[in-house]
């Protein structure tokens, strides 16, 4: 095990042990994560970052490489979460875009929604600054046979729209969402719903029209997330339309 990984894990293990009711592996990884979980809550992780480590005063370039090694060599959820957290720190904003070649590869270790969504937040920041570099990769991931890459491809488009100063044209968002509409994977469908909800904040007319057109294909998980912030009248209209179209499809199959 890398010495930095050992140091970080030792620091995390110094915090109070998990409570009997806190088992993040059961809901973060959906019971399928390959990682070990110490069972710490977010405030403890933030405290560990504030306290720092023996290598914390190294240059930004050196730290980027250290945290990259940590990401690849640790099998602990919380240790990997700190690697993601380091890139989120405001002082790393200047180097974030330059770190795309490094961070792009991190996608291959994703096996849970918490790491996936945190990484998507980083990707969304880089996409906002360098769409010509990031978007083609998201296009490739949107057609992958790996569900977590598909989730990354859509959630990274906006993450939270309120955090974006610039967004892609709606047609580019739709182009990556559409291949996921009938991809039967729970976390992909939740990602579709999330992205359509955030798209509604930026492109309300276009997103609503897209939902209406594809309403019979939108899964219940995606529909719930996509419509949670719609005005009640519009949401009810979509619900009725969805029910009607599904009934028609069922009749034609008899």
Given a cut of 70, the residues of the chain with pLDDT beneath it are 1, 18-27, 29-31, 247-254
pLDDT digits (tens, 9 = 90+) for 2-55: 899 999 999 999 998 766 556 666 667 656 778 999 989 899 999 999 999 999
What pTM, to 2 d.p., does this model score?
0.93
* pLDDT for position 172: 98
The predicted pLDDT at position 102 comes to: 96
State the pLDDT at residue 106. Answer: 98
Q: Give the pLDDT score at 33.
A: 79
Residue 29's H or E segment, with its range, is none
pLDDT in tens, 166-176: 999 999 999 99
**Domain spans of the chain, in order of start:** 1-88, 103-254
- Is the sign of the CA dihedral 61, 67, 70, 72 positive or negative? negative
Task: Give the per-residue pLDDT at 83.
Answer: 98
CATH hierarchy code of domain 103-254: 1.25.10.90
User: CA-CA distance, 162 to 198, in Å (whole number)?
Assistant: 8
């Amino acid at each position: 095990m890398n010495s930095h990984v050992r140091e970080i894990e030792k620091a995390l293990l110094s915090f109070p042990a998990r409570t009997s009711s806190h088992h993040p592996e059961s809901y973060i990884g959906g019971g399928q994560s390959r990682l070990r979980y110490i069972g710490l809550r977010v405030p403890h992780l933030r405290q560990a970052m504030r306290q720092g480590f023996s290598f914390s005063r190294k240059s930004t370039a050196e730290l980027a490489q250290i945290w990259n090694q940590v990401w690849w060599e640790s099998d602990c959820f919380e240790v990997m979460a700190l690697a993601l957290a380091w890139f989120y720190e405001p002082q790393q904003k200047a180097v974030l875009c330059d770190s795309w070649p490094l961070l792009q590869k991190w996608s291959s270790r994703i096996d849970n929604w918490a790491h996936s969504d945190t990484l998507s937040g980083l990707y969304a920041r880089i996409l906002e600054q360098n769409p010509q570099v990031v978007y083609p990769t998201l296009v490739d991931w949107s057609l992958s046979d790996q569900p977590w890459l598909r989730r990354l491809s859509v959630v990274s488009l906006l993450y939270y729209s309120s955090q974006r100063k610039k967004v892609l044209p709606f047609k580019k968002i739709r182009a990556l969402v559409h291949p996921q509409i009938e991809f039967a994977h729970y976390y992909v469908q939740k990602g579709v719903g999330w992205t359509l909800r955030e798209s509604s904040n930026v492109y309300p007319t276009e997103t609503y029209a897209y939902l209406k057109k594809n309403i019979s294909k939108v899964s219940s998980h995606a529909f719930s997330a996509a419509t949670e912030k719609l005005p009640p009248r519009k949401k009810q209209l979509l619900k009725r339309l969805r029910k009607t179209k599904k009934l028609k499809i069922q009749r034609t199959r008899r």
